[in-house]
Amino acid sequence: MKLLEDLINEEDSKLSHYAVFNKETLERIYLEEPHSYRLPLHRDRDRILHSWAFKRLEYKTQVFINSEGDNFRTRLTHSLEVAGISRTICYSLGLNPHLGEVIALAHDLGHTPFGHAGQDILHELMKPYGGFEHNKQSLRVVQKLESRYPEFSGLNLTRVTLVGIMKHGGDYEESELKILRNEIGPSMEAILTDAADEIAYIHHDIEDGLERNLININDIYKNELWKEIFLDVEQQNPNTSMTLKQRKTIRLMMNKVITDFIENSHQNIKKYHISNKQDFRNLWKQGKKILENSLEISQQLKELKSFLYENLYQHPKILEKSKYGQKIIEFLFNYLIKNPSKIPESYTAKHSDPFPRLVADYISGMTDRYAELKAKEFGFL
């Protein structure tokens, strides 16, 4: 039977010198006894999975609202896909896969209902009070808003995880955690999880857009990455349905992009002679991008992002749903500001921030359907 020390030593023996070691993950904001048989990052992962905020992601919009079909991505399935990509890259580069997974699972916990449109309108409404940004909100969720333990607020995740959740360059409020983040810089696991997020949403938004018939196959055919792989799939599977050809193309695209990211990043690590975490941090401070795709693939991904913006995110049917969601959030915000008694006492009792921030916390934690339900209850037409 392996006790914690043995487990940590075994796991750390698999990591490169520039990885975040599990022996560095023992410290939490509030003192807790380590578990005898579980890594601290395993406990972080499970605390996130058991949280209310994570479960609610199932009913929060990625691109298509939940009522449009059961087969489209939600914030929950997106987070799971990002975690899978992050683990793969970490394993391949000798980085800590447990940390990459935890950061990925937590990265959207603070997202609003109705996707980015919901975040945009809540930010506008909160501008007089400091604005709203879902990455910052994810940190608030795990530090303050989740309530599962009588001993402390939040989930009491490890300091390493909390710093990993914080976007580097983001304007976080002054805290001991922000000082720590500025001192140690980003981990390689945190940086690559951002890339995993982008890889995941580009490919699954294309797939969902095609299956919803909002993306024209002839338009995406102009992208070299798609064209090259789709032609090969067609040649090898001439009698297969168009839907299966599209799905296989997307799967092969993702594999090519992730493989390219791993191989190009590995080459950069060798090129810059990175042998420890400080080497990486020094290069990061100089603006050097170590963990990234090759120039060719990066350009193709950039073109795909532009394609999605023009052909999917700006599609009239998507914009119609987005505007409807924004109207709901705007109505809820203005109504609750004027009617504070409508916020559950169980929620307000644990909240010490200014009231507009409480309202933003309450709304951002709602699912799409709950936000619509409450708005109609309060008189939204």
DSSP code, position 145: I
297-300, long-range: CB < 8 A, 24+ apart:
297/225, 297/256, 297/257, 297/260, 297/261, 297/264, 300/223, 300/224, 300/225
DSSP state of 366: S
Q: What burial class does residue 270 get, using C-beta atoms within 10 Å of its C-beta: 0-12 exposed, 13-18 middle, 19+ buried?
A: exposed
Query: What is the amino acid identity at position 31?
Result: L
- Average pLDDT, rounded, for the chain: 92
Domain holding 66: CATH number? 1.10.3210.10
Residue 191 and residue 290: Cα distance in Å, rounded?
9
Q: Which one, of 119, 138, 135, 117, lies nearest residue 127 by Cα?
A: 119
Number of separate domains in the chain: 1
Quick check: 303 and 322 in contact, CB under 8 A? no
CA nearest neighbour of 192 among 282, 269, 87: 87
Nearest of 379, 336, 339 to residue 360 by alpha carbon:
336
Question: CA-CA distance, 49 to 137, in Å (whole number)?
Answer: 17
Domain range spanning residue 69? 4-377
What pTM was computed for the model? 0.94
* 334: amino acid identity, one letter: N
Which pLDDT score, from 0 to 100, does residue 67 have?
Answer: 56
User: Is the confidence at residue 178, as pLDDT, over 80?
Assistant: no
pLDDT at residue 184, as a whole number: 79
Helix segments in 272-367, DSSP class H: 277-285, 295-308, 316-338, 345-348, 355-364
**Taking 70 as the threshold, does the pLDDT of residue 15 lie above it?**
yes
Q: Residues 312-330: pLDDT tens digits?
A: 999 999 999 999 999 999 9
Residue 287 makes CB contacts below 8 A (sequence gap 6+) with none
Band of pLDDT at residue 69, cut at 50, 70 and 90: low
Per-residue pLDDT, 66: 58
